[in-house]
Structure 1
Amino acid sequence: MDCRVGCAACCIVISISSPIPGMPEGKPAGVRCAQLTADNRCRLFGKPERPSVCTSLRPSPEMCGQSDEEAYLNLERLERLTRPS
């Protein structure tokens, strides 16, 4: 499965604990990544400074669903399930 261009659900919905250029403390859930362009493309895609967590995240039907809206819902649920209590 390929990413839907412009979706960026994984760059907004989930938290990322590793440093990201422009976000040295990582990214909280629900906050746009500082590396997203206005049209929701990653400025770091394919570059060595892209965090390994982002590089290893692969789109899947379970994560992305059939639409951007479904991706947001799926990732919000995953974020809730994996959030430390």
Structure 2
Amino acid sequence: MDCRLGCGACCIAPSITSALPGMPNGKLAGQRCVNLDDDNLCLLFGLPTRPLVCAVFTADAEVCGQTQQQAMTIIASLELSTLANVVEEG
């Protein structure tokens, strides 16, 4: 699956704990990455400064769904289940 142009769900919905350009402490779930432009396009795409966590993400129908809203919902749900697992294990 190719990314939907202008979706940006993977840059908004999940938390990212590693440093990002312009976000040295990472970002919270639901927080928009500062490297997204107004059209939800990554300003770092193809640049060596693009973080590895972003570069290794690949679009997948199970994660991205059929629409941007579905992607936001699925990724947010995955984020919550990951958090629940951390709380249970901790």
Unmatched tracts of structure 1, length 5 or more: none
1:21 counterpart residue number: 21
CA RMSD of aligned residues (A): 0.7
CA distance in 2 between counterparts of 1:81 and 1:47 reads 32
In 1, Cα distance between the equivalents of 2:57 and 2:67? 18
User: What is the aligned-residue identity percentage?
Assistant: 51
Moved over 4 A (4+): none
CA distance in 1, matches of 2:72, 2:13: 7
Report the Cα offset of residue 81 of structure 1. Answer: 0.9
- The aligned runs of 1:52-71 (5 Å cut-off) are 52-71=52-71
In the comparison of the two structures, how many residue pairs are matched?
Answer: 85
> Matches of residues 25-36 of structure 1 in structure 2 within 5 Å?
25-36=25-36
Q: TM-score by structure 2 length?
A: 0.91
Tell me which structure has the larger Cα radius of gyration.
Answer: 2
Deviations 1:15-73 (A, max 9, x none): 01110110000011000001000110000001111110100111000000111111011
Paired position in structure 1 for 2:7: 7
Specify every segment of 5 or more residues in structure 2 that has no aligned partner in the other structure, as ranges.
none
TM-score, structure 1 normalization: 0.96
